[in-house]
């Protein structure tokens, strides 16, 4: 790669840039995870997670990736052979469904085109056609990281309620938590899955489950093997300020600092900032004459924008050129979108000027790669930002 001055622009949709404050917190000396200082940290930290998830329900923290938190949501609530209804909204929704199948669950995937979120009408019709209540859980990805599409979880909840169906609602918020408005309690979610490396502004390494009372009740009869992921001993140890295993102590320091930063800005302002940057990014894409992958105006992501290139253009070649010339990383197309899209991450520790620099790099890269675009994308984004700041 050509040597350049300045910092690397990490504009993938996660892991995201880690603020200096969080890095400094993580670098503190490790302490005894069985001692009183650590107990005080946990007793402060766990209640502070509630507002970010929009709940008073317990939040379980694992030393894991988001994939581990996916598995935890399933094995704590379901039994071998249980039927799971998953909505195919993109690459990560498909991976979660595949994981459920490997665990011995019977998975039914509601097909999607990867340009729309979970379809409440389709979901409601399928639930209504299940008089025997064989479907035990519905899995939905709130914000599909591979597509930049945000499913309308309240409408999904309404579809379950309209069908009078008792299935658990499991929701992945890995690329939406602390970036896009989310309300575990108000929206009737039973298990919320999250990870540390996106809106929470941390390195990878922490997974989360927010757990409703209904999910805890399902735990009592769940029959899938559940050792490391078992909520019961974790919640019992948490009550005293500890964990039943060695926790990721220094990441917990960082999490405490990240939660302080979110509280200082205010969650409403955080969500508004993400929406402002998403709107400006879409303005740039459209001014270039390109297409945003998300096809429903109600479902545009505040965390990232997936840009669809014209036929005959290689999105990965564009990404490689931008990395080589401008030291900026953009997200690749995943699964069926490989080579067709690139993804601009605009989440986490991010501001208006960082967005302007990001979009300038994208515009230059598209032009140098020979992609036929109009030149006004950056100015369109700046105008959107000006209007938002007026």
Name 62's bridge partners: 207
| pLDDT range class, residue 389, cuts 50, 70, 90 | confident
Half-sphere exposure of 73 (CA within 13 A, CB side): 37
Q: Mean pLDDT over residues 118-132, rounded?
A: 98
Kindly state the DSSP code that residue 30 receives in the 8-state scheme.
Answer: P
Q: In 27-164, which residue ranges form alpha helices assigned H by DSSP?
A: 36-53, 66-75, 91-102, 120-128, 153-162
Q: What is the pLDDT of residue 1?
A: 52
User: How many angstroms separate the CA atoms of 390 and 385, rounded?
Assistant: 9
The CA distances from residue 28 to 25, 197, 257, in Å, are 6, 19, 12
Pairing of strands 291-292, 168-172: unpaired
Q: What are the pLDDT digits (tens) for 5-15?
A: 899 999 999 99
- Tell me what pLDDT residue 307 has: 98
Cβ-Cβ contacts under 8 Å for 58 (sequence gap 6 or more): 46, 210, 211, 235, 238
Residues 6 or more apart whose Cβ sits within 8 Å of residue 206: 61, 62, 63, 64, 195, 196, 200, 248, 251, 252, 255
The pLDDT tens digits of the residues spanning 139-185 come to 999 999 999 999 999 999 999 999 999 999 999 999 999 999 999 99
What three-state secondary structure class fits 219? helix
pLDDT-derived band at 2 (thresholds 50, 70, 90) equals low
* Span 35-67, pLDDT tens digits: 999 999 999 999 999 999 999 999 999 999 999
The single-letter DSSP state of residue 359 is H
pLDDT given for residue 390 in this prediction: 77
DSSP notation for 248-301: -HHHHHHHHHHHHHHHHH-HHHHHHHHHHHHHHHHHHHHHTT-EES---GGGB-
pLDDT tens digits, 224-238: 999 999 999 999 999
Share of the chain above pLDDT 90, in %: 98
pLDDT above 60: residue 371: yes
Using the predicted structure, report yes or no on whether residue 3 has a pLDDT greater than 60.
no
Mean pLDDT confidence for 73-91 = 98
Rounded to 5°, the CA angle 83-89-94 comes to: 55
Q: In the chain, what are the domain boundaries?
A: 9-16+266-389, 20-263
* pTM (predicted TM-score): 0.97
Average pLDDT rounded to a whole number, residues 106-125: 98
Average of per-residue pLDDT across 98-122: 98
Per CATH, the number for 9-16+266-389 is 3.90.1150.10
Q: Which CATH architecture has domain 20-263?
A: 3-Layer(aba) Sandwich (3.40)
Report the share of the chain in percent with pLDDT over 70: 99
Per residue in 304-347, pLDDT (tens digit) is: 999 999 999 999 999 999 999 999 999 999 999 999 999 999 99
């Amino acid at each position: 790669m050509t040597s350049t001055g300045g910092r690397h622009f990490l504009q993938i949709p996660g892991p995201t840039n880690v603020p200096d404050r969080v890095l400094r917190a993580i670098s503190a000396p490790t302490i005894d995870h069985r001692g009183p200082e650590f107990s005080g940290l946990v007793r402060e930290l766990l209640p502070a997670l509630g507002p970010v998830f929009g709940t008073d329900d317990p939040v379980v923290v694992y030393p894991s990736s988001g994939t581990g938190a996916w598995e935890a949501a399933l094995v704590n609530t379901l039994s071998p052979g249980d039927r799971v209804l998953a909505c195919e909204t993109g690459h990560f929704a498909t991976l979660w469904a595949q994981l459920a199948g490997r665990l011995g669950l019977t998975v039914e995937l509601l097909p999607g085109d990867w340009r729309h979120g979970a379809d409440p009408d389709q979901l409601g019709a399928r639930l209504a056609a299940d008089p025997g209540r064989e479907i035990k859980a519905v899995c939905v990805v709130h914000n599909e990281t591979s597509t930049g599409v945000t499913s309308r979880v309240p409408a999904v909840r309404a579809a379950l309620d309209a069908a009078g169906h008792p299935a658990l609602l499991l929701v992945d918020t890995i690329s939406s938590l602390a970036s896009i408005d989310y309300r575990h309690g108000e929206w009737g979610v039973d298990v919320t899955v999250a990870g540390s490396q996106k809106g929470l502004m941390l390195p990878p390494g922490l997974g989360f489950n927010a757990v409703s009372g209904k999910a805890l009740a399902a735990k009592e009869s769940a029959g899938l093997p559940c050792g490391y992921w078992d909520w019961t001993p974790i919640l019992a140890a948490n009550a005293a300020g500890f964990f039943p295993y060695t926790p990721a102590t220094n990441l917990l320091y960082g999490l405490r600092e990240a939660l302080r930063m979110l509280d200082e800005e205010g969650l409403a302002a955080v969500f508004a900032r993400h929406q402002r940057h998403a709107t400006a990014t879409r303005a740039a894409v459209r001014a270039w004459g390109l297409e945003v992958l998300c096809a429903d105006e109600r479902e545009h992501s505040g965390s990232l924008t997936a840009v669809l290139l014209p036929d005959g253009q290689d999105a990965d070649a564009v990404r490689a050129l931008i990395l080589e010339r401008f030291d900026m990383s953009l997200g690749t197309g995943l699964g069926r979108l490989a080579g067709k899209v690139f993804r601009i991450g605009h989440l986490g520790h991010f501001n208006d000027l960082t967005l302007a620099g990001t979009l300038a790099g994208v515009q230059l890269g598209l032009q140098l790669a020979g992609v036929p675009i109009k030149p006004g994308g950056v100015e369109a984004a700046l105008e959107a930002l000006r209007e938002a700041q007026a």
